[in-house]
Each structure stands twice: as C-alpha cells, then as structure tokens.
Amino acid sequence: MTYHPREDIAQRFAEIHPPLDPIAALVEANRCLYCFDAPCSAACPTHIDVPRFIKKIATGNLRGSALGILDANILGASCSRVCPVDVLCEGACVLHRYNKQPIEIGRLQRHAMDHFYGNGAKLCVLPPREGAAKVACIGAGPASLACAAELRKRGYGVTIFESRALPGGLNTYGVAEYKLRPSDSLREVELIASLGVEFRFGVSVGREVTVEELERTYAAVFLAVGLGPGEPLGLPGEELNHVVDALSFIACYKTAQTISVGRKVAVIGGGNTAIDAANAALRLGADEVYLVYRRSEREMPAFQFEYENAKLEGVRFRFQTQPVAILPAGLECVRMELGAPDQSGRRKPEPVTGSNFLIECDMVILAIGQSRFLEFLSACRGVELRDGNVVVDPETGRTSNSRYYAGGDCVNGGREVVDAVAEGKRAGIAMASWLDGTNA
Amino acid sequence: MADLTTVFAGGIRCPNPFWLASGPPANCGEQVMRAFDAGWGGAVWKTLGEPIVNVSSRYSSVDWNRQRMMGLNNIELITDRPLEVNLREISEVKKRYPSHAVIASLMVESKLEAWRQIVRQAEDAGADGLELNFGCPHGMSERGMGSAVGQVPEYTAMITSWVKEVARTPVLVKLTPNISDIRMVARAAKNGGADGLSAINTINSITGIDLDTLTPRPDVGGQSSHGGYCGPAVKPIALHLVQQIASDEVSRLPISGIGGISGWQEAAEFILMGAGTVQVCTAAMHYGFRIVEDMIDGLSNWMDEKGFRTLDDFRGLSLPRVVEWKNLDLNYKIIARIHPEKCIGCDLCYTACWDGAHQCIHLDRVAGGNGNSHRTPADIEAESSRRIATTPIAKLDRAGGNASGPYATPLARIPRVDEDECVGCNLCALVCPVDGCITMERVDNGRPFESWEQRMSKL
C-alpha cells in the first residue's frame, strides 16, 4: 500500500476538460448554428436553452449567458464539468450530420459559469415571504439543491438536512477529481445558501430528527437521500481489509487527509463508478489496475467515452471474468461464456467449469452497485417504493403521499447529476405551485 | 488555356486584369514592385498631389461572427510623400516592369494650371494612364477636392476636359458612390473626354462606436470623422453601380471595377458586368499581395471550364440579364424543395419562414397540426420544454440512437414545405447551412411570359 498526502492530488488529477480561453470560446460560440427548438436543449434533462447562452457568449454578454444557464439549471457549473455531454447535448448537436464536429457545449457552458463565479456570483432572490410555508429537503445533493433553489425563487423557505459533514452529495464526494473538485462543488452550494436556503449538517433524519417531527414544522418534504453503501458481492474473503467499496475509496481520496492505494488493484464492476475508481487508483500510483467484468465489452454499462478514456489511462480490462473468491494474494476468478439473452436483453454469462485463475492484487475495489435506504424510506408513511426506488409522478416528483416529493438517485436508481437537478427542479416548481394552492 | 492579357481604355496594356487600387498597398515603388513580382497586372499609385498631413488612427473595420474586416473604412488622405519622390519611383518601376501597368492617381486643387502641371509630371515619369480621383469622400472633400468634384457633374466635366487637353495617355475618372444617380457624373466624365471610368470609390461611413469610450471609430483622441467604406461588405453596392454605368448608353466607356473584390469569383462578376479591369485594395491590405495568385489561377480555371478563352469572351455577358423590375416574368414560378436526406435538422428554415417570410414551412412530418391550423413556433417550443429528458445510461438505453425514420435526421425535425403556399422567395435556401439541401425548383404552371408592364398595358 502506498500513502499520499492530500497536497499532490491537484497534480495527479489535472482537469480532463480544461477551460476554454476567451478567444477559443468566442470562436467556438460563433460556430453554433443557433438551431430552432434546438436538439441540444431538448436532450438536456434541465432543458438549458443552449443556443441562447452560446449566442450570448458570442456577443460578449457573459453575465446574461450565465444567468440563462442558472435559470434552467442552478448547478450549471458542476453540470458543465461532469455531464456526459457525448450522450446529452453534444451528442444531439446537428453538426454531427454537418461536418462531424459538434459544438463543445460543455466547455462553453463552463466558460460562462466561470465568468459568473469569477465575478461575484450574485443572484437576486427575495427573502421568504412573511409567514410563508417551509419545506424540508432531506439530503444535500444535487436534487435537493435544485429543488431548494426553485422554492426560494418562489418565496418559500427551505431547510436542507444532511447527514454528512459537507453538502453537495456525490458532487462533493463522488465525482472523479479530474472532472470536479470538492471546492467547485462547495462554491456552488454557497450560491444556493446565498439564496436564503438553510442547511443542517450532520443531522441524520430518522435518527437525530424523525420524519414526524419534520411533518410538524414543514409543509412538505422532499426526499433526496440518494443511494446507500455499495452492495456486497457475497464472496468469501469480502471481509478482508484490502477490500474497499468504490464510492468510499473515491470519497476518501477526494476529501480525506491521506489516501492509500494498492500496487496492484482489481476493480470489480463494469459501470462508470468502476471506471472512475480504476482511473483514480492508477493516478494515485498503483502499478497495475484491472477492471473485472463478467460480461463482454459490448454489455458493459459504462459510457463508451469513459471506456475509451480508461483504456488511455492504462486500465487493463478483464472481460467475461467472474470473481469467485477474494484471497489475501488476489482475486480468484473464473472465465465466463455468453449464452442466450436474459431479462435485461443482454447475453447471460455462464461460468466455464475448471477455468479458475488468480489475478494477483493487494487491493480489491467493489463497484457493483449501491444499496437502497430501505429502512428510512419505509418509515415515510404512504410513500410507495418499487424495487427499492421511490415511486413519483415524473412531471411533478410527487410521491403517493401528497406532502412528500422525491428526486435524484433514490427515485431514478442512480443516474447523472443533471438528472437529479432536473428532478429536483420539477419537484421544486410543483411543490411551490401546490403550496400556492393550499395557501390560497 | 485562358488568356488574361488585357488592353484597357485604348492602350493600357497589362498581363492580367488585376490591379492594385490607389491606396496604401500602392503607396511606394518598393511595394508596387513586390506586387508585380507576386503577379499583379497593374497598380494605381496612391493619389499624387500636394503632400498632406495624416492623423492617427486611420482605419476601422466591421467584423462579423469573428470574421475580421467584412468592411473597412479609412480617414487617410492622399499621399503624404513628396511628389518628386513618387515621380522618381514611378519611373523606376516602369523601367524595371515595362509590361505592367502603372496608373497615376491624381488630385490637386481645382485650378487649370495645377491639373495641367501634375498631368505632365506624371506622364513624364512614365505613367501608362491617369486616374482622376473625384471620389475620395473624407478630408480632401472638405477642401473642395475628391468627392466634392465628383458630386457635381459640371465640375467633373470641366476638370476632365482640362486634363484631356494635355494628356497623352488614357484618362480614367474615378467615380464616387456618394451620389443619388451615378450615371449623371459618368455622363459628365464622358462629356469631358474621359477614356474610361473607375468605380467605385469608398462609401461614406461610420463603422461603429466603442461602447466603453462612446467614441466612434476610428478614434482620434476621443473624436472621429466619417470615413470611406470598402471591403467585402461593399461589393453588392459596387456591382450595382458598375451595372448602372455599364448599361447606360449615354456614358458607355471602359470600366475598371472596384469595390469588395477579394478573389477570382468577384473579379469574374465585375467582368461579367462589363468591367475591363478590376482593382483590389482591402483584400491586399488584409492578406498581402500573395492573394493575386489564386485570383489568376481561379479565374483561369473557371474560364477553361466555361470555354472562355479571353476576357472579352465573357465580358458583359450578365448585363442583358439585369432589367427593370417591370420587365420580369410574373408567371415564372419556383418553390422550395427540402431534400430530407441532406437535412441536418437545424430547423433554421422553419423559423426563418415563420418569422421572416410566409409561414409555409411546417414541422408536421410526425406530429400533426393544431386543430385546423399549423403548430406555431411557440407551440413547438412549449412542447419541447414540457418533454422529460433523461440521460441514457446503459448502452441498451440508446438502441436506435437519434434516428427515427428513414433519414439520418429524425423525421420530426425535417421540415416540410407547403408547396401551395410557398412564394419562392429563396429565404429558406439562403439560411440553410447545407449546400444543396434546399433547392428552389421550377414549377411549370403553363402560363406564358407576362411582365407587370404587359399586364398593365392590357388594362
């Protein structure tokens, strides 16, 4: 195991998409065709009016550009860095069918947001109306932050309850460092705090305060608790102390004082988190990092661009490989063959008898999905769950209990930051209009 | 192989029709010789006259979408070098480049003796021709010269005749566009005996205002003054004015076309409109003398492709096609046709037709109308804003990708032209970023040619 002090993290995790310099931004902004009813805006879960903010960059109206972005997406800065733009706005750009060079929307958005945060980051919102109803948001991740901003814009008071020490959710603790640093995430939370949103940190709802107590003080509750700890794999040896959960590993290197990483690391899983963990292990100094996935490259749920990037980073992919035991010396695996398609439509992997082999490693990272906060969510009376996820009306985020709304990973099962923002935004707007009705 | 050699206005010979216009690129002999080395066929020397004093700054420009110098304006005056230096350099250039054309641009006070003297001096130095600068719209005009002469047909005729009494070489009169009917001055120049016309000089302009200092450009110590506008932006104006004088029976003379020419295409256009030579200034100021290489090469290739051997083979061919509006065929009908396989789905044609034209392009290949009427742009935007979009997470989520329908672009985003309503205005084809995606196609309505004039005469 090697240990690193925090200081060299910035150097090891240089930004993967560095900012555009002002001239590059102007040149890029001028390439935008300014489509009508633009597909990039339609593809954005928060429906940022992309051509409009790009046009404003082109005319030198950077403040107007930033305010337009923030109006649609209060986390416009982090989204500009962490969004998988290849499958969202930039993936939808019509220039794919023109000269094959889509507009760099993410970096242009960042350009406008950097201007905003570099120039005082001021948004004007009226203080809560006298006697206005208050809303409790549970969890200080992107969904709650977006929900709270919409409620504050509409005159309602908001308190966000967060069990951890820092706000921002996965933006602070879970996004790969070369995309977003905790300081960027926290700067964005400060903007939301500046709108008059109250924060209670280190308060775990259900423990320090009950939902019944919240119901007495708050007119409505927004559930945005995200997902729980990583799922166990159910393998012998999982309790060994060189086995870590991917999100804990990532949270640790992003926020803890010292970071440890193995010399040879095996990451189990084929999603984006597995890739983030594998890349991080390499950047933190591991000599060899293997990503072990039981199906083939084709079935891997990670985004294609993440896979391509991980190959460039030096991650060694071991496809059709299933771990069967974790040993002190490494990971015992078995080869898999793909059979007929299963319920998910993907070809079902079947173990090849007698093909057992060992991947030598001194650290094993599990990235096979997160558990649900079932105990807490079941305590919210009348809130229907399906497969562990909160069931909501997609247009309003309203749960089966009319005072409860929900959004983010605890609803969608774990999508992107921008999806959480969109759900929080829709819920915030819907809650305000519901509260308007009950007050009237 | 195309032959570009040119004989202009009764005796000015040059290897090609590309001349540097009178201006900064033709300020001194060293520049002109380098220009000839680069391939220019001739140069009109920066206007000779009594040396003046210039200000700084002198130029300002109009940029468009990061493209620099779509239009350029200047408040520079005529040459600031001593006359004898310019004359000495003209003879030097002529000695070294006998087959290239050197034209002396002239501007002196409106006195008979002053004009006669400078004509003699320029010709003695070896100039192949003279260009009378009756067009410069700034500074000199305040002193009764330049456009102050060119805006009064009588003055134009008088000074031209003074010059013609002593000139041994062809005399060109350079016309100002800052006048209501350029043909009046062209006729006066012809009456004065001019051998040719140069058109156009620069256009009165203020290019813009600095929004920090509130001073218009160019800024001379917190003040500005109107300047002469040129560059690509003025080409359409210049082309029209050249057409005006080229089509005028009364003033017909050889024309040296000027205004926004920066490549072989514009040169071809001016020649098709009747020009004998073309003059270039802004493009050479922007990119240097080297641009002439593609002017020669491009024009030659185009001529070869079209089967034109000499410039005379196509000179003026487009002139008969410019007629008065009343003679256009009212029964000629075209409509827009969108080629869906080329459409990229930007829908700029849709918004242009709805907001800027005749509301006959619709986005209804998938979604239908709105009751009896078509969906408006606002309807469409409202529908999009209500649609819930999520990030496609697994590769499986993305099966089918963007494509919906038989084309690369989703069918819902490919606009449709209502051919019964389309008036054939061209706007959609003009805004479409893709070449050949929207074509304007002839519709045979079986009606014979009928102009407005003919229709009125039947009443």
pLDDT at A257 over 80: no
CA dihedral of B420, B426, B432, B434, whole degrees rounded to 10: 100
Sign of CA dihedral A97, A103, A106, A107: positive
pLDDT above 70 covers what percent of chain A? 98
For domain A15-118, the question of CATH label 1.10.1060.10 is answered with yes
Subunit contact A34:B348, Cβ cutoff 8 A: yes
For domain A243-366, the question of CATH label 3.40.50.170 is answered with no
B376: Cβ contacts below 8 Å, ≥ 6 apart: B354, B370
For domain A134-228+372-439, the question of CATH label 3.60.130.10 is answered with no
Q: Is B28 a catalytic residue?
A: no
| Domain-wise residue ranges, chain B | 6-321, 324-378+405-459
Extended beta strands in A74-154, E state:
134-138
Dist CA B171 CA B118 (whole Å): 13
User: pLDDT tens digits, residue range B76-128?
Assistant: 999 999 999 999 999 999 999 999 999 999 999 999 999 999 999 999 999 99
Extended beta strands in B30-82, E state:
42-48, 59-64, 67-74
The CATH code of the domain at B6-321 is: 3.20.20.70
Q: How many residues would you count in chain B?
A: 459
User: pLDDT tens digits, residue range B223-248?
Assistant: 999 999 999 999 999 999 999 999 99
Rounded to a whole number of angstroms, the distance from the CA of A311 to the nearest CA of chain B is 18
Paired with A389 in beta bridges are A386
State the pLDDT at residue B255.
Answer: 98
pLDDT at B367 over 80: no
Dist CA A286 CA A279 (whole Å): 10
Subunit contact B66:A43, Cβ cutoff 8 A: no
User: pLDDT tens digits, residue range A321-376?
Assistant: 999 999 999 999 999 998 888 887 888 899 999 999 999 999 999 999 999 999 99
What H or E segment, with its residue span, contains residue B11? none
Nearest to B40 by CA among B70, B2, B6: B6
Q: Which of B14, B28, B136, B353 is catalytic?
A: B136
Letter for the amino acid at B151? Q
Letter for the amino acid at B432? C
pTM: predicted TM-score of the whole model, two decimal places = 0.93
pLDDT at B187 over 60: yes
Dist CA B175 CA B271 (whole Å): 18
User: What's the CATH fold of domain B324-378+405-459?
Assistant: Alpha-Beta Plaits (3.30.70)
Domains A15-118 and A243-366 share a fold: no
B99: Cβ contacts below 8 Å, ≥ 6 apart: B13, B14, B15
| Domain-wise residue ranges, chain A | 15-118, 134-228+372-439, 243-366
Give yes or no for a contact between A385 and A111, defined as CB atoms under 8 angstroms apart.
no
Subunit contact B391:A418, Cβ cutoff 8 A: yes
Q: What is each CA distance from B191 to B156, B162, B197, in whole angstroms?
A: 9, 12, 12
Q: Per CB distance under 8 Å, which residues of B are interface residues toward A?
A: 65-66, 344-348, 350-351, 363, 377, 380-381, 384-385, 387-396, 398, 402, 408-409, 413, 433-434
Beta strands at B67-74 and B227-230: parallel, antiparallel or unpaired: antiparallel
For an interface test with A, the pick among B393, B398, B409, B435 (most A C-beta atoms closer than 10 Å) comes out as: B393
Any idea what DSSP says for residue B400? T
Phi, psi of A180 (to 5 degrees): -150, 130
Q: Which of A34, A92, A345 sits opposite B396 (nearest CB)?
A: A345
Residues of B within 8 A of A97 (CB-CB) are 344-345, 408-409
State the pLDDT at residue A259.
Answer: 83
Give yes or no for a contact between B131 and B105, defined as CB atoms under 8 angstroms apart.
yes
Give yes or no for a contact between A137 and A157, defined as CB atoms under 8 angstroms apart.
no
CA dihedral of B352, B353, B354, B356, whole degrees rounded to 10: 60
Phi, psi of A6 (to 5 degrees): -60, -30
pLDDT at A177 over 90: yes
Q: Identify the closest residue of chain A to B376 by CA–CA distance.
A: A37
Q: What is each CA distance from A195 to A70, A113, A121, A330, A423, in whole angstroms?
A: 13, 17, 11, 51, 20
